[in-house]
Amino acid sequence: MRNLERAALGAAVALSVLSVGDAVLRGVSDAVLPWDDEAGTTWGIVATNLLMVATFGLLAAVLVRNARGIDDGSGARRWVRRLLATALAVLSVGYLVVSVVDADAAGIVAGVTFLLMFVLGVVLGALLLRRPEVRLPAVLMVSVVPLIGLAFAVEALAPGWGHPGYAETALYLGIALLGIQVAGERSGVGPSLAGART
């Protein structure tokens, strides 16, 4: 595993912890969280935005640098990967400049791009499912669909507990692990996650 893939995995884990933590805290409490856009603290909002900038940027870079190994000769995978990398890059830049652009326009772009990230992630995962060496990342990426469905079901049964953080976690970790698997194969480590220990 190279430094880029290692950094992307670390950022994905950190953002996933924040996402799931946000889901749990919103489920058990009505308290205003430090990273709330509406009423949170400046340091909490800035720190969270910077984490998202780093995570989305690193995941986009992983998809670009490992293009050949991810695409593996498939035109469909190539175009979906490119679009997903673009969506992640747009989100990264968007969270970087959110404080200096029109909030309404930025919100619309971010919302559409965020949804597009999920759709493209699921499609890329589905296109990778038949490749045994990247099946785990692919399954994580495809699991976004049932996890979103589960979030709606949980929200209906226990208001306040439905949250996109669970699906986000699967997607972020799936993309990061995809980069690790492909980079490991390119460096001759092999297809298993054992390469992550090097």
> What is the overall mean pLDDT for the chain?
84
| Distances, alpha carbon 55 to alpha carbons 50, 110, 191, in Å | 9, 15, 24
Angle, helices 3-28/42-65, rounded to nearest 10 degrees:
140
In tens, the pLDDT along 57-113 reads: 999 999 999 999 999 989 999 999 999 999 999 999 888 887 666 566 667 777 889
In tens, the pLDDT along 128-169 reads: 999 999 999 999 999 999 999 988 888 788 777 777 888 999
Contact 169, 141 (CB under 8 A): no
